[in-house]
Each structure stands twice: as structure tokens, then as C-alpha cells.
Structure 1
Amino acid sequence: MPFSPQAYRPAAALLSLGQGFYDPVEAADFPQARLRFRNDCAAAEVGLSELTDDEWCAHFGRFVAMPGTLPQPLALRYHGHQFRHYNPEIGDGRGFTFAQLRDARGRLMDLGTKGSGTTPWSRFGDGRLTLKGGVREVLASEMLEALNVATSRSFSLIETGEALHRGDEPSPTRSAVLVRLSHGHVRIGSFQRLAYLRDEAGLRALTGYVLRELYGEDSDDPIRLLDLVVARTATLAAGYMAAGFVHGVLNSDNINVTGESFDYGPWRFAPTWDPGFVAAYFDEGGLYAFGRQPEAIHWDVMQLAASLRLIADSEPLIAALERFAERYQPAIAAAMLWRLGVTPRGPAEDRALVQVVERAMRRTGVALERFFWDAFGGTLPASYADDWEEVRAALASYQPRTSRNHPYWQGGPCSMLIDEVEAIWAAIDRDDDWGPFDAKVAAIRAMGQALA
């Protein structure tokens, strides 16, 4: 029995919403299924770590249905604002929800795909994913998880043996299918679609589904839903900032209502604390620049509030929405103190520390990963001189939250800058050498253990 009887807890909650929310689809029939990455840490949490590699490829490369969960893949329907322009023609165009499972904590988890073939929402796309895109998503999600950011987890990456042509990278290039483990795939754009269609019954049904299945609340109150989403997304925005992460495409169809980050395309980690740093070459106006991410996420949540006006009064929706800033401030303090490895002292003192640290990082142009590595535990090395005295003074009253005994602290900081990503891909592309990729994943996980 490859499915652990104690840990494998299949579910099919999505079916309760009915066919108006999704389209049954079939996966592409790929020429090959060559396993490149399997996340056994995540698999153990949903009872799938005992699968052999052949069984793994059958389920996550050929998409053989698993017992007790969805009988066939479902492509979800949604709309969304893309760079502030509303698009009613989108949906799962190269992915689908393949299965639902309960994790070790009892949370409902989706196994969703990227690059699994065309759907009714593919428009003119081929429904495929480049192997490079899959490698990048694994690296992004592993790094964010290690940095304590709520994120989907890259569950599986399988090379599929097709030659893909893309306009923005050398072609032909290798193909892959990615599976991610995520706490739901319901997006703000899922609500926007129903509001666009004036579907009050659908909005109420989706509100109840999210509250019951994803938040564990016996409620169908849209005000309560918005309040929870405001809190989770404010925490996500703070996590991005403390991690130095730039998602690149914070469209409303890329914001999960559980506040979990997902769908990594043109992401980058900022080398320095530069609010204007952008990840996507096509973001010419800097709409989703590093320093504008909290604003961008807040704007997306505004679209959720606007959608819920069809089934709720405006006044309490506005009141819930306006709490974003008051949720963000303690969240950024908590996230920054976590990265600094110190124990919080109190709201006012913690906010003051964050402000002096941000000022110093911006003024000096210090390498972010180097600074957080050096400062972990609250003690700045002597090499941080004049420009850092204010930070040193602010840190003096803080206590470390954990020791630096882990072997990670004997080396140097683990970073994930674009040159490193390109070098990892070049080894795979040129020589099919997965050694640097495997080594980086191991280093990221070691960093995560040390920080935790």
C-alpha cells in the first residue's frame, strides 16, 4: 500500500461548489516523465512519501487519479486585474487542481499543477512549462519557506521531453510539469469573476467554502472573510519585505485568499534594500517594485472587497479593508525581528528598531543576506561602523531568540540572486548537471533549520 494509511487523508471538498466553478480536463500525454525533484518533506505531511519513483511519476507526471480524492483534474475559473487592467478571459490555462488532501494539521491542501497541458482557458498558449521555469519555482518556494514566508511548496518537478518555443528565452528549450502543494487555490480573481457575472449565489457559496474549508470557521459571513484575508495578506506583504523578495506579478488572480504566496514567474530577491527594484522586465512603471508590494497587495484586496459588495454592505467592508495598515505594521516588525534573530520587546520599541534598520540598509546599500547573516542574534560585527551606530544602539536591549550553534553559521549567508539562479540553470541546460541545484536546495533547507 503506497499510501500511508495513517497520514493519507484524501478529500474532494472542491466538488461541493459544483460545476460552475471549474472545468473537468485531461492532462497532456507527455513523451516522457523523468523525475527531477520530489519533496519528500511535504509528501510525508500528506501521506505520500512512501510512493516509489515510478508511482510518483504515474501520479504527478501522468496524473493517474489517487484513491478517494478528485476523480479527474479540474481547471478553475477566475478573472483578475493584470497590471490594473481587468481581464475576464483568464482561468487555469496551463494547470489544474489534481487532488485534495488533509495535511498533518488537518488543513485542506490542493495538489495543483503548472505546465500540465491546455484547458478551456489556455487561449493561444500551449499549456506547457519550461524546465527552467520549473527549476526557478522550486528555488523560489524553497527559499521563501526557509525565510518563514507562507508559500505554496514545490511538490514535484518532472521533465516531460518536449521542445518548447518561447519568445523571451533561447528556444527550443526543455519542458516540465510542476506540482505544487498549496493551502487552497482560491484567488481574489475567483471572487471577481462571480461579481462580474452578478452571481450572488455563487459568491455566497464560495465565501462559505473558503471560511469552512480553508479557515476552519463555521460561517458564511463575507465581512468575516474579508477581515481574515486582510490579516493574512498583510502578513504576506510583510514577509516579502523582510525576505527581500519581489514576486514580480502581483495581479489579483495571483493572490490566494489564504494569504499564501504562489505562482512564481519573474521573481527575484533584491540584492539591497532598494524600494525601486523590480523583478519583471515588462514592469516598466515599477507597479510591483520591491517597495510597492504592500500597496499592490492592498489594492488587490480592495478588489475582493468590491466583489463582496454584491452580498454585503459597503460600510463594514470598508472598515475591514482599512485595517490592512494596522495589520501590516506589527507584521513587518515581527518578520524583521525574526530575520534579525531577536525576541520582540514591545510594539513601539520593535517598530523603532525596524525603522532604523530600514534606514541604514537603504542608506548604505548593504547586501541584504550578508547583513541579516551578520546581525542574527542582535550583535553587529565591528565592521559595521559609523553608519550603523543607530542600529547597534537599537539592538543593544534585544535578546537572541536562538543560538548560532547550527553548522550553517560556520559558513556564510545563503542567497538566491539572479546570477546564482542562472548559473544553476546553465549547469542543467549545458551538461544536465543537477549537482548545483541539489546543493542549493540542501543549503536553503540548512539555512531554514538554522533560522528556525
Structure 2
Amino acid sequence: MNNKPIASPYRPDPKIASLGAKIGYPVQAAKFPDTILRFRNDRWATTIGLAEYDDGTWVRHFGRFEPLPDNLPEPLALRYHGHQFRVYNPEIGDGRGFLFAQMRDGEARLMDLATKGSGTTPFSRRGDGRLTLKGGVREILATEMLEALGVNTSKTFSIIETGEELIRGDEPSPTRSAVMVRLSHSHIRIGSFQRIAAEGDAELMHELIDYCLNQLYDVTPSENAPAQLLELAVERVADLAASYMVAGFVHGVLNTDNINITGESFDYGPWRFTQYWDPQFTAAYFDESGLYAFGRQAEALHWNLGQLAVALRLVCDAPPLIAALERFSDLYQRAVVRRFLWRLGVESRGETDDRQLVEAAERAMSREKIPIDEFFHGYRNGNTNAFDAQGEYQRAFAGLLGGYSAHDPAPDTYWNDGPICSMLINEVEDIWQAIAERDDWQPLYQKVAAIRLMGLALATDAR
């Protein structure tokens, strides 16, 4: 998603209806005992024409889920399957959320408003369909930080506290509850295609492929539309994998039902930012094998694209799908270099020099235990005097960086005067504790403001 909001009037366009009843089930939102507005993202509400809503109207739509004008008459719980830690599960779908509305943004893209914690659906199984308030706060922090760091991410659009006490086994209970609305460029997942393939519905597969190409990628389907879609998805997902690495981010649960066909990151559960360049670092305590560790995310995303290719075999021969998958590695490596240079704030000197620079940076951060955020902040715009002491690998990197020129000098007030903006687990917990113990929301709002200031300094729209 572009990180520079473009204002737009409200333009409802519920195109998902063209796919018919097989894409999802009509559902109703839960009736909550309370609806206390805690966060509204007016920055992105302007892009879909909803920033002018007063708080009362906002709560009616995003806490009680009164339909938006000329939009979906009922929410849809989307149907999909998925590999979860590479074990296929045909019994999943939107179990605590639904697609609420669709509209065009300032770039004429089709956007979704969808929920998390809005109640049970036919896919809830034994779950209560709810979201903890802590989970909502963590999603705000994840999406704001990733947006600032140039990652194509969903936006946390609204958080409303709902007045229920939830029991959770992995955190102190009972705990407070919330309902979240996210703004995304689609909620069609790799798992959506897997379900259709498992059911052998070739007609629906063709319809979904055309929907994705026409409505999400804004291209005309070619003679081999399935291969065309995979080509586009490989490009987007390779870039997503690279953006995670340069941000120092670990998603935690890169299952096929969590991978958007547009390559947009979303659905943040046990996410973490790693302090150091540690390929073994994991975000989820239950990821005992390190399947989704920091250094294995590109591998995981490539594997997931392979499952999309398997699903598309229902309507496409294998050779063009294999050819599309084989592009991933080169696309990923190029995206890592491009994004690395962007975060350093320097112009390219050519493929060979750029790769050497990135490799030297990774060695310096890894072997000399330099925190990732400190490294990029200190060297922004070629400031090689940022560190009091430099080891062998850091000196080698600084020597290479000296031959690069800054592409867009950023304001000194951020890079030289302010504290480094990070998002490590201790700070996340401190922000939550202020809310849990004192109902103090100021640390959260102050952090969001600081993150957005960093985003402006990084000039994310220039990458």
C-alpha cells in the first residue's frame, strides 16, 4: 500500500458480490455490552472518504456495524483453507472477523474494510470470535511501524473497546476485549484458492482469478490468466519478504491463509521486531522448529507461493507456473538491495557494488551485535561517525558506504536530535501495561506520533 495518503470522497463499490455466494457466508456482528472508541485512523480514513464521520457515527458503523451507505447489506465471513505450519487445514475461514465494506480509494484501488473480534461465524469452531484489547493495541503498533518502514501493510483503521472480559490461556485473564477494523487492498488469500482447488470448482477458480486481475491488479486478463496472476503475486510477495528483512520484522505466522494475493502484509498475531540481525530469531513461542524465523521468511513465503501454484493447477498447466516461481529468488535479492539502500538513504552505484554493501552491512550487524535500528539510524545519509567504536566489519562497511551519495537529505532534527524509534517487545509491553493498569492511553498515542514522524523523515513514498 502506498504510504502517502491521497484524499478521496466516499465511493462504495462492493465488487466481492460478483463472486456469488460461494466466496463467503452472510453473518451478523456480535452485540457488545459497550462501545468505547479508542483509536481511529483519520489519516487513512481520508483516502476512502470517511474521515468526516463524528465519533458517534464512527461507532455505529465500526462498533455496531450498521452497514455503510450503498455497500454490502450484510457482512461476509470469507471461506478459505490453508496450510498452518505446513499442515493442511480444510476447516478454517473467517472465524472471528468478516468483510464489512468495499470502496475505492484516492488511487481508484478497490479497498476492503474487514474486522477482527466481531463475533462468531460458521468458521469459529470452538473459538469465542473475540479479540483482546491487547491484541488490538499490538496491531496498531505493528501496522504503524511497518508503514513507516516502507512495508506494504494493512492499516489499523479502528479499535473500539467492547466491555467484555475474555479468558485467554497465554496472558493474564480475564482481560479486556475489543473489535478492530482494518483497511486493506483485498482479503483474498492464497488459502482462498486452495479451498476452491480442494473442491474442484474450476468455474469459481476462473472467476476469482479474473476478479483479482481486474479489481486488485487493475490489468486485463491474458490468455493464460492463472499464470499471469502467479507472476504478479510472485513479484509482490518477493518484495514483501525483502521488506520484512530490511525492517527487522518477524511476522510469526506465515501460513497460507495469512498471505494476501496482493502481497500486502496483514493479520498480526505473535509478531516481533528483532533487535539484532539474527536469522534464528522467532516471534511465536509455539514456533519450536523456527519455521518462520527472521532468516527463513523468504523461504516460507516462496513455499506458500508454491501452494498457490498447486491450487492454480486446477485450471493451468505446470510449466508457466514453475517459471513464475523460479523468478522469486532473483526478485527477492534485488528487492532486499533496493530497500536496504532506501533505508540507508543512498543512491545506487550498480548491482555489484550495491550487493557488496548490503552483504557488508549484514556482516557488521550480525557479527558485531549492532542493533538494526541503531545501525540504520546512525548511518543514515552516510554518517560514518555515528558510532563511538567500530569493529573490523563495521569499518569495512563504512569504507564501502563512503563511496555512496545521499539521495534525499532528511531533516537534521530527526536524525541528529531525536531518539531512535524502535519497536522492541519491552516497549510494547510497557505501552500495554499503562493501559491495563492505569487506563493511560497517552504512551500509545505518543508512540504512534513518534512513528509517523520517523515515517516522514524516511520519506517512504520515495523508495
Q: 1:414 aligned to 2:416?
A: no
Q: Which runs of 4+ in 1 moved over 3 A?
A: none
**TM-score when normalising by structure 2:** 0.96
Aligned partner of 1:89 in structure 2 is 91
| Alpha-carbon contact 1:379-1:395 (below 8 Å) kept | no
- Is residue 73–residue 99 contact of structure 1 (8 Å, CA) maintained in 2? yes
**1:266 matched to 2:273:** no
Is 1:292 the counterpart of 2:299? The answer is no
Structure 2 counterpart of 1:105: 107
1:69-80 to 2 correspondence within 5 Å?
A: 69-80=71-82
Please tell me whether the aligned partners of residues 65 and 72 of structure 1 are also in contact (alpha carbons under 8 angstroms).
yes
CA distances 1:340-399 after superposition (whole Å, capped 9, x unpaired): 111122222211111111111111111111111101112222524232121011111111
Aligned to 2:437: 430
Q: 1:391 to 1:206 in 2, by over 3 A?
A: same
Residue number in structure 1 paired with 2:399: 393
Give ranges in structure 2 of 5+ residues lacking alignment: 1-6
Change (3 A) 1:307 1:174: same
The one-letter amino acid of 2:266's match is F
Supply the AA of the counterpart residue of 1:396. Answer: G
Q: Secondary structure at the match of 1:376?
A: helix
Residue from 232, 236, 255 that aligns with 2:236:
232
Residue 244 of structure 1: aligned partner = 248
Q: How does 1:129-278 map to 2 (within 5 A)?
A: 129-219=131-221, 221-278=225-282
Structure 2 counterpart SS, 1:303: helix
* 2:458 aligned residue: 451
Alignment of structure 1 residues 15-30 onto 2, 5 Å = 15-30=17-32
CA–CA separation in structure 2 for the residues paired with 1:416 and 1:406: 22
Note closer, same or farther for the CA distance 1:224–1:175 as it changes in structure 2 (3 Å cut).
same
Aligned-partner Cα distance in 2 for 1:167–1:442: 32
**Residues 132-182 of structure 1: per-residue CA shift (max 9 Å, x gap):** 000000000000000000000000000000000001100000000000000
Alignment partner, residue 447 of structure 2: 440
Partner SS state of residue 143, structure 1: helix
Checking the alignment, whether the CA contact within 8 Å between 1:339 and 1:372 is kept in structure 2 is yes
Match of 2:306 in 1: 302
Deviations 1:404-428 (A, max 9, x none): 3253221121000000000000000
Sequence identity percentage = 60
Shift of 1:6: 5.8
SS in 1 for 2:136: helix
Contact 2:8 2:46 in 1 (8 A): no
* SS of structure 2 residue aligned to 1:11: coil
Q: Does structure 2 retain, via aligned residues, the 8 Å contact 1:223–1:316?
A: yes
The CA distance in 1 between the partners of 2:147 and 2:344, in whole Å, is 17
- Cα distance in 2 for partners of 1:282, 1:217 equals 40
Q: 1:10 aligns to what SS in structure 2?
A: coil
- Evaluate the alpha carbon distance shift between residue 286 and residue 194 of structure 1 in structure 2; reply closer, same or farther with a 3 A threshold: same
Choose which of 307, 313, 324 in structure 1 pairs with 2:317: 313
Structure 1's 6 and 250: CA in aligned 2 closer, same or farther, altered over 3 A? closer
Structure 1 contact 406–450 (Cα < 8 Å) conserved: no
Calculate the TM-score normalised by the size of structure 1: 0.98
Q: Say if 1:114 and 1:179, in contact at 8 Å, map to a contact too.
A: yes
* Equivalent residues of 2:8, 2:106 under 8 A apart: no
Aligned counterparts of 2:105 and 2:455: Cα–Cα separation in 1: 21
Structure 1 gaps, min length 5: none
Q: 1:303-345 CA deviation, whole Å, 9 max, x = no partner?
A: 0001001101101110111100011111000111111111122
Structure 2 Cα separation of the partners of residues 344 and 61 of structure 1: 47
